[in-house]
Structure 1
Amino acid sequence: MQRFPHYRQHEQMDCGPTCLRMIAAYYGKRYSLERLREQCHISRLGVSMLGISEAAEKIGMRSMGVEISFKQLKEDAPLPCIVHWNQEHFVVVYRCTEKQVWVADPATSKLKYTAEEFCRCWTSNRKKGQDTGIALLLEPSPEFYKEEDDETDNGFQGMGFMLSYIKPYKQLVGQLFLGLLLGSLIQLILPFLTQSIVDFGINNQNLNYVYLVLLAQLTLSISNAGVGFIRGWILLHLGTRINISLISSEEHEEARRTFLNQQRGMEQMMSDLSSARIQEASLRQGCWTH
């Protein structure tokens, strides 16, 4: 059985696009979360099933939102599919049997539930004597495989990401490569000097030539050791600088995400408070008219 891919959501409201990202990866396409998040039209209240459906169709998938029973999910629904979870979250069902259900939760990891546990979190209604839940069925169309994904772009973005940290130290990188070239050149010359001692010094009994070449070998060996020391120092210095930059960038990104989550939470609280005031005013006006 094909191993189902799993991605973690970055922010609280990323569950929908992350689920779609997992399903697209299952069918062989790699999309960035940023791209799918934009296509899902996430608002301050989160993402809707309709938004996920529209995003899926934009990348070439056929989608259909349904309200079905567990039996229909197990026997008729094409898997993987996205289901509405606990009325507040989206997860992917990628395998389903009579007794067990395998779920990829973007908030945690890949999990296995019993059928009873799954239905308690999924079903929200009852039709024709059966408990039903909401699911978004997805299948790739021929257009899906014609669409360009972000796999190549991610590779270039990864290289660009690293180059952006190396670029400020391009002079050090140049010195590093120069040292590598000099060290290789010295290593290449030393065997020829040794051979020349035998060919021209010993065979011709020319001690002055032997001493001269030995002195040259000693000088080159010391130079090679010095070049190696400097190259190691540059490499250590460069690695330390890049690591510090990466850590600072990660801390900045984490702070940004925390700020955005707090901001969205505050917006939600203000929206709820505003709605409560409107309802209170309406009730008071109603009492007054009576």
Structure 2
Amino acid sequence: MFKKKVPFIEQAQQTECGFCCMAMITEYHNSTVSFHDMYERIGNGRDGTSLFHLKHLAEGLGYEANCFKIQEYDELYKLPLPCIIYWKEKHYVVLEEVSEHGATIVDPAVGRTKVKKEEFERDFSKYVMTCVPGERFVKKKRKSLWLPYINILKERPSLIINLVLLSFVLQLFTLGIPLLIQYLIDSVISPQNFNLLNIFLISIVFVVGFQFLFNIVRGKVLIVLENFLDKQMMSKFINHLLHLPYHFFLLRKFGDLLFRVNSLRMIRDMIGSNLIKGILDVGLLIVIFVFMIIKSPLLTLSVLAFTAINAAVLIATRSKVKEVSQEEIIANTEVQSIQTETLYGIFNVKTAGIEDKIFTRWKKSFKKLLKAYRKKENLNNYIQSVSSSIGNLAPLFTLWLGGYLILNNQLTLGNLVAFHAISNQFFGLSQSIVQMFNSFFVTSTYLRRVQDVLDAPIEEKHTDMKEITNLEGRIRFEDVSYQYTKYSPMSVENINLEIKPGQKVAIIGESGAGKSTMSRLLLGLHNPSEGKIYYDGVDLNNIEKSSLRRQIGVVPQDVTLFNKTIFENIAIYDKDISIEEVVEAAKVAQIHDDIMKMPMQYNTFISEMGFNISGGQRQRIALARALVHKPSILVLDEATSSLDHLNEKKVDDYLNEIKCTRVVIAHRLTTVMNADLIIVMDKGTIIEAGTHKELMLKAGYYSSFFKDIEPEHKLLAN
């Protein structure tokens, strides 16, 4: 009786091993959990997931989860398997089976592996988490990953029908060539029939000519199909991605999301050409097999034997190929990361004089990449050599055996040559099908990552939501608390606050006090975990978010500019914004004079990341961008730090004039002290609130903050 195996789920990046192990355990118990669900429950840090968080995740999914530290190998026999173990002090794997000789693990990076006892004891990091389905465990039906994409093909049935018919005809032409060769030998050369020789030439020209034309037409149809799939898949993915809540992006890395976007092209290739080709190849393989059986059952058996050996080699080495390929990907990612951060941080590299240290670090990483590349290529070379040798031996053996049959009058020479040609096709097709199966398996990994994005719900938008057109700027927080994931601590807690239209409110506090979370809540980028936020008396949950954000300007501390002209960066894709409005906003932001000194003025292109202008200019362009729409509410995160006291006052006067509600996060005293309300935050709560004068009289946190920077204030005053 076969023991049930743990289904393998491959990781797409190093930090996903914990999630992959949890997904494998869940699928083993005939259920399923999406990566999106796991992200939402516990998040996934930059450095991966801790065992503590995995335990919370397992309990949330209905498991009775327990963590142990195992000292002796024999203790593993007592554990309910499968379970998750900590491996090589940096990785999670699933322990599937334990015996006196060793163990079977399912590694998210490389697949199922048998490990000898000595090797296991060396790499096992002693920590274990068992997962036993509890009373709250609910089995969920698995959704097909491929079905939604295959359904896209149903939208253009004519393309699929044409592609299948053209491919089928091409395969018939391919089959026709060996038959023509048989005809040439048996009916033309052997009886020395010169009249039929010319007919053979015409037939060859006809077959090759039509094969050429059909190949051209099939290629064009395939290009149209691939373009259609690209358009449908990319449009759906990017549109969905853009409408996801901001919270989604905080839990995932930028590079990871780019990886998922790029994965769509691989999925497209798999569906558009490989899948259809694979199905047709299987059909042709069956036809060729029948043809070979009719010609010679004995020769067919010899071809099948060599085909089986070749397929076994490819399947047996698949996990090792994946392992070395993964090593190369990891090493390549590390090299690219060093190169990217070096180029982006070249200013710091030069000013610190650490060129040699950076080069040494890069060289060490690059050596690892070269080693991984050599390892992968050596393995591929070995596999290809074995496969090539089998591929060369098979037709030669067929000729030898066929020669024996001819000498015994059991086969004609024409039949042997035709069989030899078509058996080569059979061998090549079978190899292609095995490789397609491997590609299908790998592509499923990428498909899971893409589905993680598509499974995430977009920002709520229902018919009874109110679209705000003329926001006054009144904001009220009622007992608002927020946490990023279910098991993370509250970032802000029990916030009660009212901001009146036109008020200037300053938020101060140490790093990690909750200021950034407060600004995101104000912008409607986060929905409160508890409590309510009201804009002009309307609950945030009942407001159409896009209409709200269009009336809120924001200038973040880390400004992002696009690789477009200054005009386009300020107008930010709004065709209704005129050059006059852009110039007016630039003048208020005190950047107009700088722009006019540039060669192309407002048509000057800003380079990637805005490196061709100063940090102060970037900040003021972002301020102009926020002002050009004349917002009702403006959120400024150290946004006027590049302005001197006089220019900062000009901006402040303008905002007072248009009665714009301002929420300012700043440490600069001149920015804070004239605020109508100053909010002092510490550890996610408001500890003080009032005007500058009121807070100074309290002699609390703000007062000490003021005294710390008072010398700077006096210097500015002088």
TM-score, length basis structure 1:
0.56
Matching residue within 67, 70, 93 for 2:69:
67
CA–CA separation in structure 1 for the residues paired with 2:108 and 2:31: 18
| CA distance, structure 2, for counterparts of residue 34 and residue 73 of structure 1 | 35
Which secondary structure state, in structure 2, belongs to the residue aligned with residue 69 of structure 1?
Answer: coil
Alignment size in residue pairs: 196
Q: Residues 190-209 of structure 1, C-alpha deviation per residue, up to 9 Å, x if partnerless?
A: xxxxxxxxxxxxxxxxxxxx
Native 8 Å contact 1:60 1:147 kept in 2: no
Q: CA RMSD in A?
A: 4.1
Closer, same or farther in 2 for the Cα pair 1:175/1:96, shift >3 Å?
A: closer
Aligned to 1:50: 52
Residues 228-248 of structure 1: per-residue CA shift (max 9 Å, x gap): xxxxx7x98665433354599
The match for 1:253 is: 262
Distance 1:2 1:13, change over 3 A: same
Kindly indicate whether the alpha-carbon contact (under 8 Å) linking 1:59 and 1:147 is maintained by their aligned counterparts in 2: no
> Counterpart of 1:110?
112
Alignment check: 8 A CA contact 2:85 2:129 kept = yes
In the alignment, the residues of structure 1 paired with residue 109 and residue 159 of structure 2 have an alpha-carbon distance, to the nearest angstrom, of: 46
1:17-36 Cα distance to aligned partner (Å, 9 max, x none): 00011111111112233333
Task: Give, in angstroms, the shift of residue 138 of structure 1.
Answer: 1.0
Contact 1:17-1:40 at 8 Å conserved across structures: no
Q: Are the equivalent residues in 2 in contact too, given 1:94–1:103 (CA < 8 A)?
A: yes
Amino acid paired to 2:133: P
Partners in 1 of 2:158 and 2:150 — Cα distance? Answer: 16
Runs of 5+ in structure 2 lacking a partner? 162-216, 235-258, 266-328, 346-718
Q: SS where residue 37 of structure 2 aligns?
A: helix
Amino acid at match of 1:3: K
Q: Is 1:243 matched with 2:226?
A: yes
1:3 shift after superposition? 2.3
Q: Does the 8 Å contact 1:83/1:93 carry over to 2?
A: yes
The amino acid across from 2:262 in the alignment is E
The answer to whether structure 1 residue 159 and structure 2 residue 147 are counterparts is yes
Change over 3 Å in CA distance of 1:137–1:236 after alignment to 2: same
Report the CA distance between 1:176 and its aligned residue.
8.0
Identity in percent: 21
Partner of residue 188, structure 1: none
1:137 has 2:130 as partner: yes
Equivalent-residue separation in structure 1 for 2:219 and 2:33 (angstroms): 35
Displacement of 1:175 in angstroms is 9.0
Counterpart position of 1:35 = 37
- In structure 1, runs of 5+ residues without a counterpart are 124-132, 178-232, 271-290
What is the alpha-carbon distance in structure 2 between the residues aligned to residue 81 and residue 104 of structure 1?
10
Distance 2:71 2:65 in 1: 18
SS at match of 1:143: coil
Residue 78 (str. 1) matches residue 80 (str. 2)? yes
Residue 148 of structure 1 deviates from its aligned partner by 3.1
Taking the aligned partners of 1:241 and 1:3, their CA distance within structure 2 comes to 42
* 1:6–1:110 CA contact under 8 A, matched in 2: yes
From the superposition, tell whether residues 246 and 19 of structure 1 become closer, same or farther in structure 2 (CA, over 3 Å): farther
Q: How does 1:20-31 map to 2 (within 5 A)?
A: 20-31=22-33
Report if aligned partners of 1:15, 1:107 keep a CA contact under 8 Å in 2.
yes
Q: 1:162–1:47: structure 2 CA closer, same or farther, 3 Å change rule?
A: same
Evaluate the alpha carbon distance shift between residue 254 and residue 148 of structure 1 in structure 2; reply closer, same or farther with a 3 A threshold.
closer
* 1:74 and 1:98 in contact (8 A); partners too: no
Asked if the contact 2:5/2:96 (under 8 Å) is kept, the reply is no
Matches within 5 A, 1:181-192: none
1:102 shift after superposition: 0.5
Q: Secondary structure at the match of 1:148?
A: coil
